[in-house]
């Protein structure tokens, strides 16, 4: 039987690539058994980079090789209006049907997920002590994906105990080289399973599958980076004023780290935090967002396969109802030495106050309201490309999304024309559909927030250029509005949606004043060909990260973090490991 299947698949591939898969000759999708025809990846996968995460040619080839039977896509597809994605994913033709989906598998078949509703504590898959579970939904279809354990404080105490018990051996009983080897193996396993983990991510969060797979590879990159950084946690020898004394500064792991992570990057945000903490010698408890617990569980499974000792990496899932209690416990217990959180500024402030009673280390990566400035000398094609990267990626649901678009009045109309053309290329729909370039928002509340901000802006004088409507499920059309002013809510609120809100300006001093008129300062962007202007503006822009002629600046090698109320500390790069170490001074007399 296996030989027959292999022979059939090989024959089908030969015929397809030979151009024999015509409308008259219908073949079946190996996953869903519905008819498919034609060949080739969808057009939006033929770019130089995969959905915002840079990949070279070799990586792209590996990606398409991993797609297996689903290399058979419709090659020349026309753009589809967003509402058309409400129909079944196999688009009808005269005598055949096109399988535009990447995969049709059920989550139960995934090797990186536990069998049943279980968290990962002390190297074991365990249900919640109460036996309670909660539902996990696909944000596009609102389909029930699976059920996850609804952990409570009792479960959190068990995870903290496991991490505390494992800490001494992990920090003192292993060398930096040994810890790095496990992280390197982990990165390798994630890379090997990026197809499966990417599909899980798409189904629970909604972003297009190529973008999700990019995030998974991005996650692997963090483990690979910190596998090397583990051996570069240097101390200091301090010259002494006394001839018979030696002074040493050494860096030690801070201890047990609790990580509370968001839904918008359910794999990468865990990887960025955990890889650095584990490299330093810390043990970890991850509390993922209740909307997206599955990517965290997949990371737990792959950590076990990489040889991570029991208790060093733990994952607790919980519902929205039990989240406040668990978070408060993690902040207030003396058995947790550090809390690392990515999320809203409001919640970050709450966790900071709850951690004050134990004076523990708190690392915060909070909200932003990124200014995006297009100066008169800007390369407009580059600026539009940067706008799409900084705004539409993840349907605008990233903390570094360009929220306030400032365009010089002399180039405003030309920029707008090019931007409209780029936005028109977007296809909104199911992230598992090969034609989709923009997935849904995370839930109905997210759509309602976007609708409120748009309605408020239009009532106060903004002009709607395109988009502006909810489509299927939680999808929202990419939208452009102009004539945005400071009295609109959208000018001061982190949108977290695909609305490109454009304001015009006429001089550098004025736009800098407006760009800095915010209590948050995570990221900023500027587009200019004037080097003197670039240096002036980058020095004066009050943010933690700046993209100059670049809309996608995140990478594993660079520090990520903000100023003002956008957070405390840095993640990624050499600086990321600092958050999970502490200095010790040793004085030796001889």
Cα separation of 490 and 495, whole Å? 7
Domains identified in the chain, total number:
3
Residue 25, domain extent: 2-99
Catalytic residue check, 365: yes
pTM metric for this prediction: 0.84
Cα separation of 195 and 68, whole Å? 10
Is 106 part of any domain? Answer: no
> Do 185 and 173 sit in the same domain of this protein?
yes
> Do 360 and 266 sit in the same domain of this protein?
yes
Is 112 part of any domain? Answer: no
**Burial tier of 341 (Cβ tally within 10 Å: 0-12, 13-18, 19+):** buried
Q: Nearest to residue 155, comparing CAs of 317, 358, 282, 360?
A: 317
> Do 227 and 348 sit in the same domain of this protein?
yes
> Do 268 and 406 sit in the same domain of this protein?
no
Measuring CA to CA, how many Å separate 512 from each of 173, 367, 374, 541?
52, 20, 12, 7
SS3 category, 25? coil
Geometric angle at alpha carbon 338, from 333 and 339, rounded to 5°:
85
Higher pLDDT, 54 or 77: 54
**Burial tier of 224 (Cβ tally within 10 Å: 0-12, 13-18, 19+):** buried
In SS3 terms, 43-57 reads as HHHCCCCECCECCCH
What confidence tens digit (pLDDT) does each residue in 293-340 have? 999 999 999 999 999 999 999 999 999 999 999 999 999 999 999 999
Sign, CA dihedral 37-39-41-42, equals negative
Percentage of the chain surpassing pLDDT 90? 80
Catalytic residue among 199, 215, 229, 365: 365
What confidence tens digit (pLDDT) does each residue in 11-50 have? 444 444 344 333 333 333 333 333 333 333 333 333 333 3
> Do 158 and 62 sit in the same domain of this protein?
no
Residue entry with tokens 């004066």? 540
> Do 134 and 72 sit in the same domain of this protein?
no
**pLDDT of 2 strictly over 70:** no
> Do 578 and 531 sit in the same domain of this protein?
no
Model pLDDT, residue 4: 46
Cα-Cα end-to-end distance for the chain = 77
Last residue of a domain, one of 65, 99, 133: 99
Model pLDDT, residue 237: 96
DSSP string, 150-187: ---HHHHHHHHHHHHHHHHHHHHSS-HHHHHHHHHHHH
> Do 161 and 80 sit in the same domain of this protein?
no
Q: What is the largest CA-CA distance in the chain?
A: 91
> Do 399 and 471 sit in the same domain of this protein?
yes
Beta bridge partners of 438: 428
Is 59 part of any domain? Answer: yes
Is 108 part of any domain? Answer: no
Is 196 part of any domain? Answer: yes
Is 384 part of any domain? Answer: yes
Is 393 part of any domain? Answer: yes
The CATH number of the domain holding residue 529 is 3.40.309.10
The CATH number of the domain holding residue 286 is 3.40.605.10
User: What stretch of H or E contains 296?
Assistant: helix 294-305
Contacts of 284 by beta carbon, 8 Å cutoff, 6+ apart = 163, 256, 257, 258, 259, 273, 274, 277, 278, 312, 313, 314
> Do 381 and 341 sit in the same domain of this protein?
no
> Do 319 and 423 sit in the same domain of this protein?
no
């Amino acid at each position: 039987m296996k030989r027959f299947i292999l022979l059939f698949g090989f024959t089908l591939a030969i015929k397809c690539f030979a151009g024999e898969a015509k409308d008259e000759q219908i073949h079946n999708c190996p996953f869903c058994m519905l008819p498919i025809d034609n060949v080739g990846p969808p057009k939006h996968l033929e770019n130089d980079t995969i959905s915002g995460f840079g990949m070279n040619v070799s990586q792209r080839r590996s990606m398409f090789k991993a797609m297996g039977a689903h290399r058979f896509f419709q090659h020349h597809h026309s753009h589809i209006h967003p509402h058309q994605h409400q129909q079944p994913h196999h688009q009808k033709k005269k005598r055949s049907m096109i399988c535009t989906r990447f995969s049709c598998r059920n989550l139960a078949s995934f090797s990186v997920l536990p069998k049943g509703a279980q968290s990962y504590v002390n190297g074991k898959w365990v249900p919640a002590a109460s036996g309670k579970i909660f539902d996990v939904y696909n944000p596009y279809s609102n389909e029930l994906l699976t059920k996850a354990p609804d952990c409570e404080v009792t479960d959190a105490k068990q995870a903290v105990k496991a991490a505390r018990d494992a800490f001494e051996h992990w920090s003192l009983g292993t060398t930096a080289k040994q810890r790095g080897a496990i992280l390197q193996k982990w990165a390798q396993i994630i890379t090997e399973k990026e197809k499966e983990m990417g599909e899980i991510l798409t189904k629970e969060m909604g972003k297009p599958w190529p973008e999700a797979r990019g995030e998974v590879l991005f996650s692997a990159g963090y483990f690979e980076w910190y596998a090397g950084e583990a051996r570069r946690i240097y101390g200091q020898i301090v010259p002494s004023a006394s001839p018979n004394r030696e002074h040493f500064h050494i860096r030690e792991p801070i201890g047990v780290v609790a990580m509370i992570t968001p839904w918008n990057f359910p794999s990468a945000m865990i990887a960025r935090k955990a890889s650095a903490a584990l490299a330093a010698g810390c043990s970890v408890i991850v509390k993922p967002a209740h909307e997206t617990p599955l990517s965290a569980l997949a990371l737990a499974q792959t950590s076990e396969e990489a040889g991570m000792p029991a208790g060093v990496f733990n994952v607790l899932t919980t519902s929205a109802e039990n989240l406040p209690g668990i978070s408060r416990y993690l902040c207030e217990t003396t058995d947790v030495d550090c809390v690392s959180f990515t999320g809203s500024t409001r919640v970050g402030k709450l966790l900071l106050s709850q951690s004050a009673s134990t004076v523990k280390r708190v690392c915060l990566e909070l909200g932003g309201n990124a200014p995006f400035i297009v100066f008169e000398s800007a390369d407009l094609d580059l600026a539009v490309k940067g706008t799409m990267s900084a705004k539409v990626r993840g349907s605008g649901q990233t903390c570094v999304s360009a929220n306030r678009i400032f365009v010089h009045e002399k180039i405003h109309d030309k920029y707008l024309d090019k931007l409209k053309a780029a936005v028109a290329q977007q296809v909104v729909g199911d992230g598992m559909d090969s034609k989709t370039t923009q997935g849904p928002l995370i839930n109905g509340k997210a759509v309602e927030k976007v609708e409120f901000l748009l309605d408020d802006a239009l009532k106060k004088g903004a002009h709607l250029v395109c988009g502006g409507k909810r489509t299927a499920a939680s999808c929202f059309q990419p939208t452009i509005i102009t004539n945005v002013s400071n009295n609109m809510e959208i000018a001061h609120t982190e949108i977290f949606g695909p609305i490109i809100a454009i304001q015009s300006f006429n001089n550098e001093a004025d736009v800098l004043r407006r760009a800095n008129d915010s209590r948050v300062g995570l990221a900023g962007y500027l587009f200019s060909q004037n080097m003197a202007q670039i240096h002036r503006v980058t020095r004066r822009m009050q943010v933690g990260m700046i993209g100059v002629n670049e809309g996608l600046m995140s990478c594993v090698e660079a520090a990520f973090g903000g100023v003002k109320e956008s957070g405390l500390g840095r993640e990624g790069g050499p600086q990321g490991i600092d958050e999970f170490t502490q200095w010790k001074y040793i004085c030796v007399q001889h």
